[in-house]
Amino acid sequence: MNKLLELNHVTFSFKTYGGVVQSVRDVSFDINQGEIVGVVGESGCGKSVTCQCILRLNPEPPGFFSEDSSIKYKGTELLKKSEKEMRAIRGKEISFIFQDPMTSLNPTMKIGKQIEEIFVYDKSLSRHEKKQEALDILSTVGISDAERRYGQYPHELSGGMKQRVMIAMALVGSPSVVIADEPTTSLDVTIEAQILDLLKEMKEKFNVSIILVTHDLGVIAKLCDRVMVMYGGKIVERGTVEDIFYHTKHPYTAGLLKSIARLDMKKGEKLTPIEGTPPDLFNPPAGCPFAARCEYCMEICNETFPEEYKITQGHDSCCWLQHEDAPEVDLLSGEIKEEGNGE
C-alpha cells in the first residue's frame, strides 16, 4: 500500500520546572493512503501529543524530539524542515481538527474569513475564488444556506455546526492526511453520529487518510480500519478493529473493553474498572508501563519493557504474556488456560 506518513522511534519530551516529562516514548507507525487509523487510550496517555508532533504543533522549546526521532511525509523528513516550510504543509498537505470548536474558532472573525485563512499564502487565488472555495466546502460538509453561514460568527452556530466548520477548514486545502483529535467530545450522541458519518463520507469522497484520536471505543468500532492502543506514551497494541475487539492480546486493551457497556450485558452485571493510576512520566517505569495495574504482572514486567510480539500480520502486542514461556491467558474472560514458566 502507498505509505503517506511514517513515524519511526518518535520520542518527545517537555522541559518543566519539575523535570522532564517524557510524553511520547519511542512511537513508530505508518499511515496508508485512504485509510482511517484510530488512536485510543486514557486521557494523558500521549495520543494528542503524538499527533501534534506530526505537524510540529508542540512548542519547541520547551518541547524537544530525541535525536533518533523521524517523521516522514511522502518520504520527506518533517523534523528537518523550518517553521516556514512547515506552514506550507499545515492545512495544505496535513490538516488538524482540534478537540473543541468552541475554543478553536476565533470568536471575533466571521466563519468564511476563518476558512479563507487557509489560502493566506496562496497568491494564485483571487478574493472571489477564495470565497467560492469556502462556500463550496461549507456545502460539502452539509451546512445549509452556506452564503449566510459564511457571514456569521461562531457564537451564532450550534455545536454540531461549529464542528462541521472545523471539518470544512481541515478539508478546504485538499490535504492527503487529516488528524481528527477527539472531534465528537463535546457533542450529543445524535450529532456525534452525524459527524462520524461525515468523516467517513469525506474519506470516501476525497480518498483522504484520517488519524482519529479518541478514548471512545464505540467510535473506533464504527469508523476505523486499524487501531493503535496507547498507554504511558507508548503503543502497547496495534491491529485491525477485529483484532483489537475480538482477539485482544494486551491486558490494558482488555481492561478498556471490559470498562464499557455492551448490548449483551446481563441485568445487574457490573462494569470492571481499571484499578490504579497511569504511570508518572516524569520518571517512567523501566518495564511495562501497565505493570503496576496489571493482574497478570510477572517479575520481568517490572524490569524490562517487552518487545513487540507479532500475533498475526498487522497485529502486534507489547506484552510479556505473548512470550513462549508465559502462561496462556484469555484476556477477555480472564481464564488462565495454561501455566508457563513465568520467566
Residues 12-66 pLDDT 10s = 999 999 899 999 999 999 999 999 999 999 888 889 999 999 999 998 889 999 9
| 337: pLDDT strictly greater than 80 | no
Cα–Cα nearest to 120, from 105, 130, 110, 108: 130
Tell me the average pLDDT of the chain: 88
CA separation for the pair 90, 157 (Å, rounded):
26
Domains and CATH numbers, the chain: 3-224 (3.40.50.300), 250-262+270-338 (no CATH)
State residue 340's pLDDT score: 54
- Strand, helix or coil for residue 247: coil
State residue 130's pLDDT score: 85
State residue 342's pLDDT score: 47
Helix (H) or strand (E) holding 93: none
CA separation for the pair 126, 323 (Å, rounded):
62
Backbone phi and psi for residue 173, each to the nearest 5 degrees, phi listed first? -85, 5
State residue 184's pLDDT score: 80
Residues 73-128 pLDDT 10s = 999 999 999 998 998 898 889 999 988 778 888 999 999 999 888 777 667 778 88
